[in-house]
């Protein structure tokens, strides 16, 4: 019998700035088995030697993708059974945290985008109930009851 | 002058693309290349594509002397890393260009940093293009906050043992 593979840490974000910010967190996870999840095949390069999965993007502007995104996430979560899921948003990140808690009991981390200067994003506010660590990148948005501020990615 | 226009990889931003197209028509000596998104206004006076891969995007930014963009953090971070001056214009909810006005708040936060200028509208954007030489370059952005990285590392170490092939030295 082969030894069961160690459950990885999953790093997941939608495109553009969300992905760029997630990549700046990589030093925190050095030495751990990782799996990267993005919304475009061309982000694979950033995963290096780690596994990379593509899921369908969803947002308020492309909300009809929602069933497909959920299906993709369920498949990816069951395939890798991450011990922890870290996301910088947006809506796919929120869905990932909820499903990861539900399906595989992952520890979950939400880091709201640094672009949300005046208030947490809508997904960020909803992530509260599903995130073990619920972070804003703006000190003035932090509250004793959360979100927590620990600095920013830039 | 070489300008790289980017409106992100998702939605077109016709107000910005059109303003730069009009400017390019009057400045044939300038070289402009754009990533303009799918299904929007097609510029007639410069070359543009719907979407670039991250590698193409990076080399286009390196090619340019100035980046003109919507207020996307991917672009802001890349321009800082590659020390390219940045001219921003925010997408607005009232014009159905985005679903929240966070870009305007981000623009207010960023504007006035070295090498970054945020224009309120198309007219200001065009005016600002004439003064780009005086802006300097953006500060290189440092690594993520050590406190943030430290807390995430602590959490990661508490749930997942490191593999023995870990490169030494950490971050």
Handedness of CA A10, A139, B8, A121 (dihedral sign): positive
ipTM of the complex: 0.95
How much is the pTM?
0.91
Partner-chain residue, chosen from B100, B156, B165, that has the shortest CB–CB distance to A29? B156
Most confident of A150-154, B100-104, B142-146: A150-154
Q: How confident is the model at residue B171 (pLDDT cuts 50, 70, 90)?
A: very low
Give me the pLDDT at residue B166, please: 47
Say if B99 is an interface residue toward chain A (CB within 8 Å): yes
> Mutation test of the interface with chain A: which of B11, B59, B69, B152, choosing the one with the most A Cβ atoms within 10 A?
B152
C-alpha distances in Å from residue B122, one per residue of A63, B33, B38, B86, B95: 30, 18, 21, 15, 13
Note the pLDDT tens digit of each residue in A90-120.
Answer: 999 999 999 999 999 999 999 999 999 999 9
Q: Is residue B109 within 8 angstroms of chain A, CB to CB?
A: yes
Closest of B82, B72, B86 to residue B114, by C-alpha: B86
Cα–Cα dist A70/A66, whole Å = 6
Cα end-to-end distance, chain A, whole Å: 46
What is the phi/psi pair of residue A69, to 5°? -60, -45
| Residue contact B155–A109, C-beta within 8 A | yes
Q: Please report the sign of the dihedral spanned by the C-alpha atoms of residue A25, residue A27, residue A31, residue A35.
A: positive
Tokens of B117: 């200028």
Residues of chain A with pLDDT under 50: none
Inter-chain CB proximity B142 and A122 less than 8 Å: no
A153·B145 Cβ contact <8 A: yes
Residue by residue, what is the 3-state secondary structure of B63-107? HCCEEEECCCHHHHHHHHHCCCCEEEECCCHHHCCCCCCHHHHHH
Beta strands per DSSP E along A32-150:
34-38, 52-54, 84-87, 107-111, 133-136, 148-149
Give me the pLDDT at residue B138, please: 82
pLDDT digits (tens, 9 = 90+) for B20-77: 999 999 999 999 999 999 989 999 999 999 999 999 999 999 999 999 999 999 999 9
Q: Which chain B residues are Cβ-neighbours of A42 within 8 angstroms?
A: 53-55
Rounded distance between C-alpha atoms, residue B52 and residue B55, angstroms: 8
Positive or negative: CA dihedral B57, A17, A91, B158: positive
Query: What is the helix (H) or strand (E) element at residue A12, kind and residue range?
Result: strand A9-12
Q: Using CB atoms and an 8 Å cut-off, which of residues 110-139 of chain B contact chain A?
A: none
Q: Is there a contact between A117 and B106 if contact means CB atoms under 8 Å apart? A: yes
Q: Are B144 and A101 in contact (CB under 8 A)?
A: no
Position of tokens 């999840």? A37
Length of chain A: 154
Q: Provide the residue count of chain B.
A: 171
Cβ distance of A117 and B146 shorter than 8 Å: no
A42 vs B54, B77, B146: nearest CB: B54
Q: Cis omega (within 30 of 0) on the bond before A90?
A: yes
């Amino acid at each position: 019998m082969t030894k069961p593979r160690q459950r990885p840490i999953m790093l997941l974000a939608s495109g553009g700035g969300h992905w760029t910010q997630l990549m700046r967190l990589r030093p925190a996870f050095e030495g751990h088995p990782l799996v990267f999840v993005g919304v475009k095949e061309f982000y694979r390069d950033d995963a290096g030697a780690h596994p990379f999965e593509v899921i369908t993007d969803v947002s308020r502007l492309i909300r009809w993708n929602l069933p497909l995104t959920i299906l993709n996430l369920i498949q990816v979560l069951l395939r890798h059974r991450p011990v922890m899921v870290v996301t910088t948003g947006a809506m796919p990140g929120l869905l990932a945290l909820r499903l990861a808690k539900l399906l595989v009991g992952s520890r979950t981390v939400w880091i709201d985008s640094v672009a949300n200067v005046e208030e947490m994003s809508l997904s960020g506010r909803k992530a509260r109930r599903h995130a073990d660590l619920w972070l804003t990148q703006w000190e003035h948005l932090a509250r004793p009851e959360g979100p927590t501020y620990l600095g920013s990615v830039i | 002058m070489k300008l790289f226009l980017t409106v992100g990889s998702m939605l077109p931003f016709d107000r910005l693309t059109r303003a730069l197209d009009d400017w390019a028509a009057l400045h044939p000596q300038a070289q402009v290349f754009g990533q303009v998104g799918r299904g929007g206004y097609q510029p007639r006076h410069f070359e543009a594509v719907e979407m670039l891969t991250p590698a193409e995007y990076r080399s286009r930014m390196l090619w340019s002397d100035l980046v003109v963009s919507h207020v996307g953090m991917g672009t802001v971070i890349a321009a800082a890393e590659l020390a390219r001056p940045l001219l921003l214009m925010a997408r607005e909810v009232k014009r159905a260009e985005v679903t929240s006005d966070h870009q305007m708040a981000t623009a207010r936060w960023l504007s006035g940093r070295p090498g970054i200028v945020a224009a309120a509208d198309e007219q200001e954007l065009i005016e600002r293009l004439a003064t780009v030489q005086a802006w300097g370059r953006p500060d290189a952005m440092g690594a993520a906050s050590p406190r943030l990285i430290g807390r995430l590392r602590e959490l990661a170490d508490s749930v997942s043992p490191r593999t023995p092939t870990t490169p030494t030295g950490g971050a």
